[in-house]
Structure 1
Amino acid sequence: MKTILLLPVLTLPALAEVPFQVAAETASIRFTPEGNGFVMEVNDPGNHAWMLQSTDNSSGWTNMATHRVFNGSLRIPVPRDGSRRLFRLNSDVAGQVSSSAANALILPGSPYNYANAALPAHLLTPQIQGQNNTPVTNPTTNAGAALGRVLFYDKRLSANQTVSCSSCHQAQHGFSDPRKFSVGFDGGLTDRNSMGLTNARYYLRENFFWDERAATLEDQVLMPIQNEVEMGMTLDLLVQRIDAEPFYDELFTAAFGTPEVNVTRISRALAQFVRSIVSGSSKYDLGVPTNFSNLTALENQGRQIFQGPAGGCAACHGSDNFVPGNAIFNNGLENPYVDKGLGEVTGLTSDEGFFKVSSLRNIELTAPYMHDGRFATLEQVVEFYNSGVVSHPNLSPQLRLPPGPPGSPPPQPRRLNLTAQQKTALVAFLKTLTDTSVTTHPKYSDPFRYQAQ
């Protein structure tokens, strides 16, 4: 099917977005003046090839460059020459732009180091290594995580090619979503808040999702792809889509030795990339060797509250990774629980209200908080633990007075009774766990080219 859009170069201001059909997909284009020319901003979920053509009305159309959309959108700069020239984009292109990794992606000359992250000594201890959920069958490699990075940002993984894993796990937000509930491929909302991925590889229990329904990260990464709200795909269509894109031949060969695309390889690559998202350069980390002399008095006060009996936070967020041991927790958010958490999976009353506790690293960036995003700020979270924990039969021992196991007589919830200044200090300390080197490093960023070459 041939689709043409005529654009007079001297038309100002920029046109509104213009929709049109390409094959079975709806594409659109925006014509925007920029510098000494203009830009054709093409939104094309079908990832077609386009030929730019021009005419001065005195002769036929002149072919200019041919461009390929690789991940849903492309900016095509066009110089202005002062004439009343017309331009058009033609999707009826004989021969497409080469679908090579070099054309489609912005990759470094030498592979990024995903396999052996440079971590400080306090994150290389036996305790920390014991929290690592990397299976022996899927060690993180540079090529494997590089492939996983591309898949993580590729919108082909959703039914209508409009969302990717990164849509709900945004780097600038600690690989979470600033909305309470994420928007799926067809506009529907998820039923839980997106969990941040920083230091996801450090979790002794290995399970994933708030309710721990995925036994491993390798299982987890495939579930949103198949979810009817999130990405709406089948695994057969997933393999077909990825296998049909030639640039993936290079990436799968580098990662696994051959270009074969299958579900297992996709799962392993995505898991490798997620496990590579590791924090070790926060203000807290820089302070460990000097007994936190770099922290302010307020931050150090908050650290002492966090780690000491006044707050008791380390009981559920322990070690320098701020993750639990081999436990899942009911933190008394409500009674009864609207969302039963683990109890929804097992069907057991004794499991109601239990949710996974992830690392607090980059917690400043991952608002809103809790499985349902009910708290907008860290201040609200601290106040909840200070005065808002609700009595529940399954309330975890750390939040009971006196301490006792879940299922024992109805508990008295623990109250921290912190002063306003102490609560401010605790929030200040939590912000020392922020590590923007993770959220801004190119190796974790979107690798696709969105500017025509």
Structure 2
Amino acid sequence: MKNLLFFAITALPAAAQTPLQVAADSASLRIRPAESGLMIDVEDPGNHSWMLQSSSTHGDWSQGATYRVFNGKLSIPVDADGPSRFFRLNSDLAGPVSSNAADALLQPASPYNYAAPVLPAHLLTPQINGQDNTPAGNPTTDAGAALGRVLFHDKRLSANQTVSCASCHQAEHGFSDPRQFSVGFDGRLTGRNSMGLTSAKYYLRQSFFWDERAATLEEQVLQPIQNELEMGMSLELLVSRLDEEPFYGELFTAAFGNDNITSNRIARALAQFVRSIVSGNSKYDQGVPIGFTNFTARENQGRTIFQGPRGGCSACHGSDNFVPGNLIFNNGLENPYIDKGVGEVTGQPADEGFFKVPSLRNIDLTAPYMHDGRFATLEEVVEFYNSGVVNHPNLSPQLRLPPGPPGSPPPPPRRLNLTNTEKAALVAFLRTLTETSVTTDPKFSDPFRYTAE
């Protein structure tokens, strides 16, 4: 039999300490005690259907319940109080299992609100609205972003069905990756740190990736799927794979009016979901209308440094979204640059060392920092700008001292020369930009049903 996982109840006293694990082909199971018997945790990247059979003699197997794995894993409860002492999971005997959205997904009774998030007045100004990169042809809708949420968490988007977008953009880490470099579908590492996605909607330049090689978010979301290191898929195979899942027909119909699955619609739905990840209720946001009286003295000191000439941080992280305007920067990480950033794309020396500046919202959650994850903490980042900016030929003017008379050589990098107290204050302010209610919001969480009923 191709996929047969066998176990006996008699093995379970020892499993109370070390759960029993069994493997067959690409699938494996872990058996552990549960409140009302046993729980079988099935790991199955192929998303097969499984029949749970039992026998008291290891001979006559019952025709038991059939279960479907929807996104690589499923926990199946087993009643161990009956006469049967032997059990097996068999995918060869399993018949068709319902694959509608209600069976595959945990859905709210009323649709989540993605299209019209409630934001404070300071995030509804013309300046903020002008940063919005949502194209006219792809406005965020509740149904479209709901589809995008499923796609974002679905491991079918990778060649061997082992990683999803959420594998490298983890909600609890500000939709970034705590590893310096992310692990692709076949175990190889990516070349850059995964950027946090909080408030990615607000980027006036519209381009995405550290080197801005994708002109729009709709272009960006399809590239990791096709990347040979990240997910290793073709769009043709992805469309075919999703077309085989009936629940996707329901979701595409809700989002786009019919069940036609295309790469363009996949891109639009994923982009809608990413744009819906917006922060507007951090400690900073709560402080804006009350003059930051909710801040500690240290946090207010840090805010003054950040926004004032002493730090000058707002020159590159401006507005209440802490994003650049229409500029991209070279921040003097090294000379020469190992990773040339935009210069790697254009081949132009004048573009070397330029990288996208993402929003600082939820920055306390997105370590490590910079395109290559070289800094492990915010303290290291602040110290870099305090004393470590390198004098690269392309260093942005915002990070240089004022220029001298005409004909003078380029001025050297700025040194903030902050005291230890001031550096700690700046870090304390940056932490006020954290909003864990975004990272724990169920509308951004994994929607798949992983426990059988």
TM-score range, shorter chain: over 0.9
Distance in 2 between residues matched to 1:323 and 1:366, nearest whole Å: 16
Distance in 2 between residues matched to 1:217 and 1:94, nearest whole Å: 41
Q: Is the 8 A contact 2:49 2:94 kept in 1?
A: no
Residue equivalent to 1:147: 147
Superposition pairs of residues 223-302 of structure 1, within 5 angstroms:
223-302=223-302
Superposition pairs of residues 39-118 of structure 1, within 5 angstroms:
39-57=39-57, 60-81=60-81, 83=83, 85-118=85-118
Shift of the alpha carbon at 1:8?
1.1
Residue equivalent to 2:391: 391
1:364 aligns with 2:368: no
What secondary structure sits across from 1:129 in the alignment? helix
Residue equivalent to 2:21: 17
What secondary structure sits across from 2:192 in the alignment? coil
TM-score of the two chains, using structure 2 as the length reference: 0.97
> Given residue 200 of structure 2, which amino acid in structure 1 is its aligned partner?
A
Distance in 1 between residues matched to 2:21 and 2:293, nearest whole Å: 54
Which stretch of the first structure deviates more once superposed, 94-103 or 371-380?
Answer: 94-103
> Given residue 141 of structure 1, which amino acid in structure 2 is its aligned partner?
T
Question: What is the CA deviation profile of residues 157-177 of structure 1, one whole-angstrom value per residue up to 9, with x for unaligned ones?
Answer: 000000000000000000000
Residue equivalent to 1:439: 439
Shift of the alpha carbon at 1:254?
0.1
TM-score of the two chains, using structure 1 as the length reference: 0.97
Shift of the alpha carbon at 1:410?
4.0
Residue equivalent to 1:196: 196
Q: Is the 8 A contact 1:392 1:411 kept in 2?
A: no
> Given residue 191 of structure 1, which amino acid in structure 2 is its aligned partner?
G
Q: What is the aligned-residue identity percentage?
A: 73
1:452 aligns with 2:449: no
Q: Is the 8 A contact 1:208 1:215 kept in 2?
A: yes
Shift of the alpha carbon at 1:19?
1.9
Report how many residues are paired. 447
> Given residue 332 of structure 1, which amino acid in structure 2 is its aligned partner?
G
Distance in 1 between residues matched to 2:265 and 2:430, nearest whole Å: 37
Distance in 2 between residues matched to 1:139 and 1:132, nearest whole Å: 11
Q: Is the 8 A contact 2:180 2:374 kept in 1?
A: yes
Shift of the alpha carbon at 1:283?
0.3
Distance in 1 between residues matched to 2:14 and 2:355, nearest whole Å: 52
Residue equivalent to 1:214: 214
Shift of the alpha carbon at 1:401?
1.2
Residues 55, 297 of structure 1: CA spacing in aligned structure 2 closer, same or farther, 3 A cutoff?
same
Shift of the alpha carbon at 1:208?
0.1
Distance in 2 between residues matched to 1:408 and 1:54, nearest whole Å: 85
> Given residue 13 of structure 1, which amino acid in structure 2 is its aligned partner?
A
> Given residue 317 of structure 1, which amino acid in structure 2 is its aligned partner?
H
Distance in 2 between residues matched to 1:251 and 1:89, nearest whole Å: 30
Distance in 2 between residues matched to 1:325 and 1:94, nearest whole Å: 57
Shift of the alpha carbon at 1:6?
2.1
> Given residue 14 of structure 2, which amino acid in structure 1 is its aligned partner?
P
Structure 1: gaps (5+ residues): none
Distance in 2 between residues matched to 1:390 and 1:90, nearest whole Å: 61
Distance in 2 between residues matched to 1:13 and 1:124, nearest whole Å: 60
> Given residue 108 of structure 1, which amino acid in structure 2 is its aligned partner?
P
Q: Is the 8 A contact 1:8 1:84 kept in 2?
A: no
Cα root mean square deviation, aligned: 1.4
Question: What is the CA deviation profile of residues 184-241 of structure 1, one whole-angstrom value per residue up to 9, with x for unaligned ones?
Answer: 0000000000000000010000000000000000000000000000000011111111
What secondary structure sits across from 1:63 in the alignment? coil
What secondary structure sits across from 1:304 in the alignment? helix
1:38 aligns with 2:42: no
Q: Is the 8 A contact 1:392 1:410 kept in 2?
A: no
Residue equivalent to 1:374: 374
Shift of the alpha carbon at 1:18?
2.1
Q: Is the 8 A contact 1:395 1:411 kept in 2?
A: no
What secondary structure sits across from 1:301 in the alignment? helix
What secondary structure sits across from 1:401 in the alignment? coil
What secondary structure sits across from 1:13 in the alignment? helix
Q: Is the 8 A contact 1:225 1:232 kept in 2?
A: yes
Q: Is the 8 A contact 1:45 1:71 kept in 2?
A: yes
Which stretch of the first structure deviates more once superposed, 78-87 or 284-293?
Answer: 78-87
Q: Is the 8 A contact 1:148 1:272 kept in 2?
A: yes
What secondary structure sits across from 1:42 in the alignment? strand
What secondary structure sits across from 2:5 in the alignment? strand
Q: Is the 8 A contact 1:393 1:408 kept in 2?
A: no
Shift of the alpha carbon at 1:83?
4.2
> Given residue 382 of structure 1, which amino acid in structure 2 is its aligned partner?
V
Distance in 1 between residues matched to 2:254 and 2:411, nearest whole Å: 56
Q: Is the 8 A contact 1:10 1:84 kept in 2?
A: no
Residue equivalent to 1:311: 311
Q: Is the 8 A contact 2:179 2:368 kept in 1?
A: yes
Q: Is the 8 A contact 2:51 2:91 kept in 1?
A: yes
Q: Is the 8 A contact 1:351 1:394 kept in 2?
A: yes
